[in-house]
Amino acid sequence: MASELDLSRDRLDAPFARRVEELSGENPYACYQCGKCSAGCPFADHMDALPNQVLRLVQLGDESALTLSAPWVCASCLACGVRCPKGVDIAKTMEALRLLALRKGISHFPLTPDRPCPQIALVGAFRKLTP
């Protein structure tokens, strides 16, 4: 039997989504999933979820977003934000997810030989991790 997706108001006002909004200053529910961000992301090929998919998980209050490598691959280049017709700054959302992951002890920086990532992504990630 196919699993059902709970799109009730309670679900969509999930504490996780509100926490991400609080940390990022960006309203995840402003996103209407047009996909322009993902189409313009230069690192999308290296992500395990596209930027709009990351936003969707946040909208649904799905904390599995914290286990994705995508926020760590994001180099905060801002290409997504300038393309977004709703003005969502996804780089800030990615930063909030990194913060929450670190607070929960989930380290997902993909520094493994079988999982290379672009050099600029490394630079961006280290910059974010520098106090």
Q: Could you list the residues that contact ligand SF4 (CB under 6 A)?
A: 31-37, 41, 43, 51-52, 55, 74-80, 83-86, 88, 90-91, 94
Q: Which is nearer to ligand SF4, 4 or 39 (CB)?
A: 39
How many Cβ atoms from other residues are within 10 Å of residue 63's Cβ?
A: 20
**Nearer to ligand SF4 among residue 63 and residue 90 (C-beta):** 90
CB of 87 to ligand SF4, least distance (A): 8
Return the number of the residue (37 or 63) whose C-beta is nearest ligand SF4. Answer: 37
Residue 20 CB: number of other CB atoms within 10 A?
Answer: 29
For the CB of residue 60, give the shortest distance to ligand SF4 in the complex, in Å: 14
Task: List residues bridging with 112 in a β-sheet.
Answer: 115
Q: Please name the amino acid found at residue 98.
A: R
CB-based contact 13:6 (threshold 8 Å) = no
Instruction: Give the span between the Cα atoms of 59 and 94, in whole angstroms.
Output: 13
CB of 88 vs ligand SF4, minimal distance in Å: 4
Closest approach, Cβ 111 to ligand SF4, in A, equals 17
Asked whether the beta carbons of 74 and 91 are under 8 A apart, the reply is yes
